[in-house]
Amino acid sequence: MKRNVRKPRTSVPVRRLLRTLTELYPGAFTSLNYTGPFQLLVATILSAQCTDTRVNKITPALFAKFPTPQSFAEADRKDIEKYVASTGFFRSKAKNIQLACQTIVSKFNGEVPGTLAELVQLAGVGRKTANVVLGDGFDTPGITVDTHVGRLSRRMGLAKETNPVKVERELMAIIPRKHWTTFSHRLILHGRAVCKSRKPRCEECAFLKVCPQIGVGEPVDEGTEETS
Residue 218 has pLDDT above 50, yes or no: yes
CA distance 1 to 214: 30
Q: Answer with the residue of higher pLDDT: 28 or 130.
A: 130
Which architecture does CATH list for 36-137?
Answer: Orthogonal Bundle (1.10)
Parse the chain into domains and list their residue ranges.
Answer: 14-28+143-204, 36-137
Q: Which of the residues 76, 146, 178, 221 is marked catalytic?
A: 146
3-class DSSP assignment, residue 157: coil
Same fold, 14-28+143-204 and 36-137: no
CATH topology of domain 14-28+143-204: Endonuclease Iii, domain 2 (1.10.1670)
- The C-alpha R_g of the chain, in whole angstroms, comes to 19
7-16, 74-83, 129-138, 141-150: segment of lowest average pLDDT: 7-16
The pLDDT, as a whole number, for residue 9 is 59
Q: pLDDT for 46-68, tens place per residue?
A: 999 999 999 999 999 999 999 99
Q: State the average pLDDT for the chain.
A: 92
pLDDT score at 222: 41
Burial grade of 149 (CB within 10 A; 0-12, 13-18, 19 or more)? buried
Q: Is the pLDDT of residue 1 over 90?
A: no
User: Environment class of residue 211 by beta-carbon count within 10 Å: exposed (0-12), middle (13-18) or buried (19+)?
Assistant: buried
Instruction: Give yes or no for residue 88 having a pLDDT over 70.
Output: yes
Spatial separation of the C-alpha atoms in residues 180 and 186, rounded to whole Å:
10
Q: Is the dihedral of CA 143, 150, 202, 211 positive or negative?
A: positive
Is the pLDDT reported for residue 221 higher than 90?
no
Dihedral (Cα; 89, 95, 97, 98), 10-degree rounding: 160
Catalytic residue among 52, 93, 128, 136: 128
Best CA proximity match to 156, nearest among 184, 122, 187:
187
Question: With pLDDT > 70 as the criterion, what percentage of the chain qualifies?
Answer: 91
Residue 224 pLDDT: 40
Exposed, middle or buried: residue 157 (CB in 10 Å: 0-12, 13-18, 19+)?
middle
Q: Number of C-alpha atoms within 13 angstroms, CB side, residue 149?
A: 25
The dihedral through the CA atoms of 217, 222, 224, 225 has a sign that is: positive
At residue 174, does pLDDT exceed 60?
yes
Cα separation, 126 vs 27, whole angstroms: 26
pLDDT confidence band for 217 (50 / 70 / 90): confident
Question: pLDDT tens-digit profile of 117-170?
Answer: 999 999 999 999 999 999 999 999 999 999 999 999 999 999 999 999 999 999
Catalytic site includes residue 139: no
Do 155 and 213 form a contact (C-beta atoms < 8 A)?
A: yes
Q: What residue type is assigned to position 74 of the chain?
A: E
Q: What is the pLDDT of residues 102-116, one digit of tens each?
A: 999 999 999 999 999
Is residue 47 within 8 A of residue 30, CB to CB? The reply is no
**Is 166 among the residues known to form the active site?**
no
**Span 193-210, mean pLDDT?**
95
CA distance 102 to 124: 13
